[in-house]
Structure 1
Amino acid sequence: MIRFENVGLRYGMGPEILRDLSFQIAPRSFQFLTGPSGAGKTTLIRLIFLSLKPTRGLITVFNRDAASLSKTDLPALRRRIGVVFQDFRLLDHLTTFENVALPLRVLGNEESSYRADVVELLRWVGLGDRMHAFPPVMSGGEKQRAALARALIGKPEILLADEPTGNVDPPLARRLMRLFVELNRLGTSVVIATHDINLMNQFNARRLVIEEGRLTVYD
């Protein structure tokens, strides 16, 4: 689904911050992306999501060479990839329901066509009673789950989650991880960026480790 071959990235004329990255993400796979703070985990997620272009190397997404994609090609490919960002990126003037439904509204779908799906998904992530709440009055954990639901509403083939348990307490972290595992069981490839070694040790999953700009894969 995703293939990197000798990918490197630098900003301007500076040194490469990521170099010689070669790995692939297979269908229905589950992996952690880890490394020290500032190692480049978020940058790699942006490369996978095609919101950032590499300086060199080949990135193939769903059998398409990312370098050959036009601006009109990108939206359709990105809809096949769900992303949960560290800062959630919820819109404060929209309710939880409206935030989750936003990707479908942008596509021009009528609410009658997606309302049942949004309600079911919010119940699945434990927000069935918070559908009408606005982000400013929600807890960090609730915002995290709302962001997850928004990433999933389009039924992506790959989910990228950037430090999804970084700002929640241990019980909620375990609950979120159970959701990710269940999602993977249902067929979605999952990539979780985290620096939490204790969390990773609870799962027998592949690890992509970034350190000093290079990536090592531990299957």
Structure 2
Amino acid sequence: MIRFENVGLRYGMGPEILRDISFQIPKGSFQFLSGPSGAGKTTLLRLLFLALAPTRGLITVFGKDRTLIKRNELPHLRRKIGVVFQDFRLLDHMTTYENVALPMRVRGRDESSYRNDVVELLKWVGLGERINVLPPVLSGGEKQRAAIARALIEQPEILLADEPTGNVDPTLARRLLRLFIELNRSGTAVVIATHDLQLMDQVDARRMVLAEGRLTLHD
């Protein structure tokens, strides 16, 4: 669904942050993205999410050349890509339910068409009793699961998760990983950026290792 061919990225006239990156994300695949801090994992995820354009090379997204995608087409394509950010990006003045439902509201959908889906998804991630709670009251793990639910509500074809277990204990990390595995089994391609080797050892998946701006693949 997404293909990178010799992709490079630099900011301004500075050195390349990413160099000659080539890989693909097949439909229904599960992949880990690892590497030391500062290696560019988050930058690579931003390229995948179409939040950045490469300096050189070819990126193909759902069969479209990245350079030929018009600005007004980007929102439609991004709806096919769910993203879980490190900082969760929940809105403190909205309840858990309202945060998860926000993508639907932005699209102008009537609440009656998605309310049951939001409630069922929150139950699935273990937040069925926290629907009407504001984010400041939630624990770090609960915020993480709310962010995951929001990323999943539009049933994306690809899910990108940036260090999704970085701020939770090992028990909750395993629970979150099981959520990603179940999502993958339902047909969504999953890419998890992490430095947690123990987490990666629990899944038989491709590992993409980013170091010094270059990517190596380990099947």
Matching residue's letter, 1:210: L
Q: Percent identity?
A: 76
Matched residue, 1:6: 6
Matches within 5 A, 1:133-148: 133-148=133-148
Matching residue's letter, 2:16: E
Matching residue's letter, 1:58: L
Matching residue's letter, 2:83: V
1-side partners of 2:180 and 2:198: how far apart?
17
TM-score by length of 2: 0.99
Matches within 5 A, 1:88-107: 88-107=88-107
Matched residue, 2:185: 185
CA drift at 1:5:
0.4
* 1:170-190 per-position Cα deviation (integer Å, ceiling 9, x unaligned): 110000000000000010000
Matched residue, 2:74: 74
Matching residue's letter, 1:76: H
Matched residue, 2:120: 120
Matching residue's letter, 1:154: E
Matching residue's letter, 1:61: V
Matching residue's letter, 1:8: G
Matched residue, 2:209: 209
Matching residue's letter, 2:167: N
TM-score by length of 1: 0.99
CA drift at 1:150:
0.2
Q: Which runs of 5+ in 1 are unaligned?
A: none
1-side partners of 2:48 and 2:61: how far apart?
8
2-side partners of 1:6 and 1:12: how far apart?
19
1:60 partner SS? strand
2-side partners of 1:36 and 1:206: how far apart?
17
CA drift at 1:70:
1.1
Matching residue's letter, 1:181: I
1-side partners of 2:108 and 2:204: how far apart?
41
2-side partners of 1:198 and 1:10: how far apart?
32
CA drift at 1:198:
1.4
Matched residue, 2:26: 26
* 1:25-82 per-position Cα deviation (integer Å, ceiling 9, x unaligned): 0000000000001101100000000001111001000000111111100000000000
1-side partners of 2:133 and 2:41: how far apart?
31
1-side partners of 2:54 and 2:135: how far apart?
34
Matching residue's letter, 2:179: L
* 1:74-116 per-position Cα deviation (integer Å, ceiling 9, x unaligned): 0000000000000000001100000000000001011111000
- Moved segments of 4+, more than 6 Å: none
**Alignment coverage as a number of residue pairs:** 219
